[in-house]
Amino acid sequence: MKLQQVLSLTRRAIDDYNMIEDGDKIAVGVSGGKDSLTLLQALKSLQRFYPKKFSLCAITIDLGFENLNLDKITEFCKNIDVPYHIIKTDIAQIVFDDRKESNPCSLCAKMRKGVLNTAIKELGCNKVAYAHHKDDVVETMMLSLIYEGRFHTFSPVTYLDRMKVTVIRPLIYMREADVTGFVNKYNIPVVKSPCPADGHTKREYVKILLQDINKETPGVKERMFTAICNNMPQWRKEFRQTI
């Protein structure tokens, strides 16, 4: 996928849900994976011509794994002129060594978000951009149905009242395949996650399940996404425009 196509989908999501206003300072949570780096590149490119002026910074929460090398990410951020902040933590030790969690992802996510939110406020940001794409939207809905018994997924825009920070998700119209094509075409320096739980989670199970269903009945994931947009109040643009 070309950069112009990425920008088109990103801008459409931002405009549809009023994700950016003049004067916003937006932190981009950068894991080092393909999704977050695509988001960072898209927002930086959009910043040059978007009518509403905003500033950017990138933040990585270093969980404390010894084999994590962020040199390529540091260089990438330098090349596109985005301030980059690495926040070191002991989350990996707490989750895997001290607590020996059987379900490490839940606790890790809570601790990581807590550290990220604190860093966002210290840097003076009023918004944080997460790199969830269209596949993530559908997978989260399926996870909720299977394991929680409810029809739920995250919103395009979420205001965190306690933190007074707004979460935005500008990649919601992009498929994961689009992201993969983009990073391959432009040689974006993706860093593989050193987490031992990576690829062995409930989300990975649901991802494979949806891929299998979509092979048998092509277009299923797209129709699921359309159903979410049409039937969940926080996704309806007409609802957003009246609040």
Give domain limits for the chain: 3-242
Angstrom distances, CA of residue 110 to CA of 3, 58, 196, 200, 239: 33, 19, 18, 19, 29
Q: How confident is the model at residue 194 (pLDDT cuts 50, 70, 90)?
A: confident
What number of CA atoms fall less than 13 Å from residue 110's CA on the CB side? 6
Angstrom distances, CA of residue 207 to CA of 156, 184, 237: 20, 21, 27
Specify the pLDDT at position 199. 62
Q: Select from 197, 210, 217 the least CA-distant residue to 146.
A: 210
Model confidence at 236: pLDDT above 90: no
Average pLDDT over residues 78-95: 94
* Alpha carbon distance 105, 82 (integer Å): 29
Are 33 and 16 spatial neighbours (Cβ–Cβ below 8 Å)?
Answer: no
Residue appearing with tokens 């084999």: 67
Measured from the Cβ of residue 152, the count of other Cβ atoms closer than 10 Å reads: 13
Give the whole-number percent of the chain exceeding pLDDT 70: 96
Those residues with Cβ within 8 angstroms of residue 214's Cβ, 6 or more apart along the chain or in another chain: 220, 221
Model confidence at 81: pLDDT above 60: yes
pTM above 0.75, yes or no: yes
Model confidence at 238: pLDDT above 80: no
Q: How confident is the model at residue 181 (pLDDT cuts 50, 70, 90)?
A: very high
Average pLDDT over residues 181-192: 93
Q: What strand order describes the sheet that includes 54-62?
A: 84-88, 54-62, 24-29, 127-129, 165-168, 157-160
Highest mean pLDDT among 40-44, 86-90, 99-103, 150-154: 40-44
Residue appearing with tokens 């965190």: 160
Those residues with Cβ within 8 angstroms of residue 63's Cβ, 6 or more apart along the chain or in another chain: 89, 91, 92, 108, 112, 195
| Coil, helix or strand at residue 95 | helix
Q: For the chain, how big is the Rg over CA atoms in Å?
A: 18
Mean pLDDT across the chain:
91
Strands 157-160 and 165-168: antiparallel
Model confidence at 242: pLDDT above 90: no
In single-letter form, the type of residue at position 29 comes to G
Give the whole-number percent of the chain exceeding pLDDT 90: 73
Architecture per CATH, 3-242: 3-Layer(aba) Sandwich (3.40)
**Percentage helix, strand, coil, to 5, in the chain?**
50, 15, 35
